[in-house]
Structure 1
Amino acid sequence: MAFTVARAFKSRRALAAATAIAAVAATTVLTTQFASATETSPATAQACTLETLPIPADLFQSAKVTGMSRDGSVIAYQAEPFDYSDPATGSVHQPLLYADGEVTEVPMPGEWQEIADVNSKGVGVGFAFVNDVPRPYVWRDGALTRLLGGRGYAYGINERGDIAGESNNPNTGLPSPTVWRAGATNPTRLALPTNAIWGTATAIANDGRVIGHVTLDGDTSGDTKPYIWSADGTVKKLPMPPGVKLADADAYPMEINGDWVSGALEAPGIDAPGIRWNLKTGTVEMTDLGWYEETVAVAPDGTVVGHVWNTPTAAYQATDGTVVELPGLIDPARNLNYDNAEAISADGTLIAGWAVSGYENGREMHQAVTWTCA
């Protein structure tokens, strides 16, 4: 169903994800201890204004943004239950889409439901756990359709309607990077690089390029390596930052936009995990943003959004290294966890994410928000 609300932001029409939530992680309140200062010198946030997105009344305590169309016209977010400990409702989320002042509730079966990405036509993709099995879905023209391929996830969609994610490879029983072509429900599994045993596609560009991560050489440690597939299916690895060996890296490309890819990387000697690749120049650099399980998104000019490492503050970082902190809902000194910017529009004027709004009965509450930046 849909209900109309006052506009929380002005739609942008300029032409422009995530890793799934682990069920057990969603039940845990983070108590990360932040340093009192960082090595960055962030700019002030005076040019960005914060507005909140609506939450269905009396149903949920908080909400988080999970995706946004590249032009910023449609935002995907999810309302979270009041009590995660309630066995009847604690794991049930309500996926929502916001566009032109209207919120649409997307009905999805099961538990831990999420619309992970959406395009400007309002076509959303995501997943839900049904009988404890992850299933990929697409929401199109007011109808929810399950994508075929067994257990899996849908993480990203482009303007044409191509979907990227993972599905179960029937030959190996392992996850395989997958594309569902626009309008199709049957999976097209992408070729894995030599010696890879499984992989995931996390995002797809408008030109058909796909990014994701794979495991190599029978590695069962959980570490993954970053790769990109061209539109014709050719696969190649993304480079490592100077001083980082591929064998030591655990990398997660999350979003592709134009010639830029963003994500997270964990490796010896790396502090802030935010990373961005410039596909045109073949270069890569670490940023001052990121937390391993949260999105670091990128605009076509290379600006990345997330939050400042080791602080509770959401931010964006330009290609010249300038970090601009984004305003929150509570005093940062009271924020025991962190705000996060999940997506940025192509023109860079709209950022969507979530902010900690307070604490109730020992549990943190979140509010889905947008930041409009001059």
Structure 2
Amino acid sequence: MTRIARNRFLVVLTAGALTATLGLPGVATAEPKHRTLPVCALRPLPLPADMNGRALAVDPTGRFIAGTGYRIDDDDWQPLLLLWAGTPGRPGHEVRTEPRLTVVAIGGGLQVEDINRYGVAVGNAFVDNVNRPWRYRNGRVEWLPVPPVVSNTWATGINSRGDIVGRGAVEQTETSLPLLWPADRPGTVEVIDAPSDASATEILDDGTIIGTAGNSGWVRHPDARTDRLTAPGARWSGISAARGNWAVGLIGTGSEDEDRTLVRWDLRTGVAAAVNPALVSTQDVNSRGTVLGDRAVEHGDRLVA
């Protein structure tokens, strides 16, 4: 699951501001109902003694985890791609097998962006003074093709079919182009038909593409229809995550530093509804519309700390 410019979304809002400024559905302000959940045991992911690392992305099944690391050697700080593969247990239970670690050397400025349910990971690296997108699959790293009109390119998301989306920077116009690497046409890259100065950040399993364009979010449906993700009275919007029929993020009626509202969009209708401001931020959303915040999870009208 990925995460789209989430740090800028860490804000606290009042329920009154949600309804008064945007006319969105109100949010209950009563003390959140807390639910007792099974306690999961926390275990460190395996790492060699001469290596440090951090996990950055996990696939929807919980089986594959991707991250970055370095070998602890003063003479060599080459960044490494780290991939753990295990067998997840039932909710509330530990992983049934010890995750197996694979270590791959890629290049400088290594970034991991996403990984799908089959263990195919995507990310970017800064090589020869250029940002280049890569894909890891079948035990090896492949550089993704890029359009000749862009100067730097980034991959940002992958779905279960292996379709990849991202963006390319066009220096001459100081704009960006949303890009698609289709799984059924290997070795090719396409510029997505989208609003001007757009970038693609996520692609869902049905081919729906989520991104940003200028000061608002947008969605491209599988039938190629494109809509902006906004709300009545909003001057700007930003998307932080999407899954299934849902997207979550922010809407604002003023500048980007004021009058912010946490919302969840129904991608089938494009309608935005306010989520509980006690979430503080919208970090992620699952296919059932459950929203993960900074300090709690919103299950309908109930919060779980």
Q: What TM-score bracket applies, with the shorter chain setting the length? A: 0.7 to 0.9
Alignment match, 1:184: 186
Alignment match, 2:202: 203
The residue correspondences of 1:110-259 to structure 2 (distance < 5 A) are 110-111=108-109, 113-149=110-146, 150-169=151-170, 172=173, 174-182=175-183, 184-193=186-195, 196=196, 198-215=197-214, 224-240=215-231, 244-245=233-234, 247=235, 249-251=236-238, 253-259=239-245
Partner-residue secondary structure (3-state), 1:51: coil
The CA deviation at 1:78 is 3.1
The residue correspondences of 1:270-281 to structure 2 (distance < 5 A) are 270=259, 274-281=262-269
Alignment match, 2:283: 296
Structure 1's 33 and 270: CA in aligned 2 closer, same or farther, altered over 3 A?
closer
Letter in 2 for 1:239: T
Letter in 1 for 2:179: T
State whether structure 2 residue 296 is matched by structure 1 residue 322: no
What CA distance in whole angstroms lies between the structure 2 residues aligned with 1:39 and 1:97?
43
TM-score (norm 1): 0.61
Superposed CA RMSD: 3.6
The answer to whether the Cα contact below 8 Å between 2:47 and 2:101 also exists between their aligned partners in 1 is: no
Q: Which moved more, 1:97-106 or 1:165-174?
A: 165-174
Q: 2:85 aligns with which of 94, 99, 108?
A: 99
The CA deviation at 1:165 is 0.9
- How many pairs were matched up? 266
What CA distance in whole angstroms lies between the structure 1 residues aligned with 2:102 and 2:221?
34
Q: Which runs of 5+ in 1 are unaligned?
A: 1-15, 23-31, 216-223, 309-314, 326-374
The CA deviation at 1:115 is 2.2
Structure 1's 160 and 170: CA in aligned 2 closer, same or farther, altered over 3 A?
farther
Partner-residue secondary structure (3-state), 1:208: coil
Q: Which runs of 5+ in 2 are unaligned?
A: 13-28, 87-98
TM-score (norm 2): 0.73
Percentage of identical aligned residues: 26
What CA distance in whole angstroms lies between the structure 2 residues aligned with 1:302 and 1:41?
18
Letter in 2 for 1:234: R
Between structure 1 and structure 2, the one with the greater Rg is 2
Partner-residue secondary structure (3-state), 1:52: coil
Structure 1's 105 and 206: CA in aligned 2 closer, same or farther, altered over 3 A?
same
The answer to whether the Cα contact below 8 Å between 1:162 and 1:204 also exists between their aligned partners in 2 is: yes
Q: RCO greater where, 1 or 2, for CA within 8 Å and sep 6 or more? A: 1
The CA deviation at 1:61 is 4.9
Partner-residue secondary structure (3-state), 2:213: strand
State whether structure 2 residue 35 is matched by structure 1 residue 78: no
